[in-house]
Amino acid sequence: MPEAAPLVTVRLDLQVAWLTIDNPPANALSAAVLEALGSELDTLAHDQDARVLVITGAGSQFFSAGADLKGALALDLPAYLAAGQDILSRLAAFSRPTIAMLQGTALGGGLELAMACDIRLAAEGVSLGQPETNLGIIPGWGGTQRLARLVGRSRALEMIMTGETVSALQAESFGLVNRTLPADALVAYTRNLAGRLSRQPPIALAEAKAALDHGLKEGLAAGLAAERAAMLRVIGSDDAREGLLAFLEKRRPRFHGR
């Protein structure tokens, strides 16, 4: 009997890891998918060749429709909720740049997964939403927290309380999506952006991300202190010396993450 196809696949291409959720028909985030996501994140965290992570869904219809509600009814729900929050928090704290490429609809836990990434790129015509209240429940994997931080309290409450979806263009105007592109241009744009980020200095990107997140969590004064400490760590790196030398020599720098 042939083995079942993997629910999550990772392909490394020129220092960009392309992680694809492949759980048809809607790329639901079942317990098995969450376990596979967590395992791949653990592997990528130790793979220094993967300088950028792009997450997408198989097919053109769904990035992910979110939690597997049918399966969830037979699961240990507290454990399922905890696993989803843990994995998305680990993704949010991933030291390298992360991009959610939304080639299809992102709903519920699917949108929560996208919001845990640093950058969201969406195809025109894609819908996004937190429709959990339509089912008598609420977002449980960070939707009540990350959505408000991205679009503000009032807009987040409107989306969550009504359960209505918004278009990718609306989401871009809210600040939920970084950029909306024609469907046939999405992959090329994502590849170009990921390639550009992969050539940036890894240490500087990680330190900048950590300082920014620390300030958002702890406040401006703490963020400024974190930024100052990070700058002092970064300035002594080989990459910083290479950046300065390349600037003086009028050439493109070659960063090695040291």
Residues with catalytic roles: 112, 132
Q: Print the SS3 string covering the chain.
A: CCCCCCCEEEEEECCEEEEEECCCCCCCECHHHHHHHHHHHHHHHCCCCCCEEEEEECCCCEEECCECHHHHCCCCHHHHHHHHHHHHHHHHCCCCCEEEEECCEEECHHHHHHHCCCEEEEECCCEEECCHHHHCCCCCCCHHHHHHHHHCHHHHHHHHHHCCCEEHHHHHHHCCCCEEECHHHHHHHHHHHHHHHHCCCHHHHHHHHHHHHHHHHHCHHHHHHHHHHHHHHHHCCHHHHHHHHHHHHCCCCCCCCC
Structure tokens at 96: 């390298």
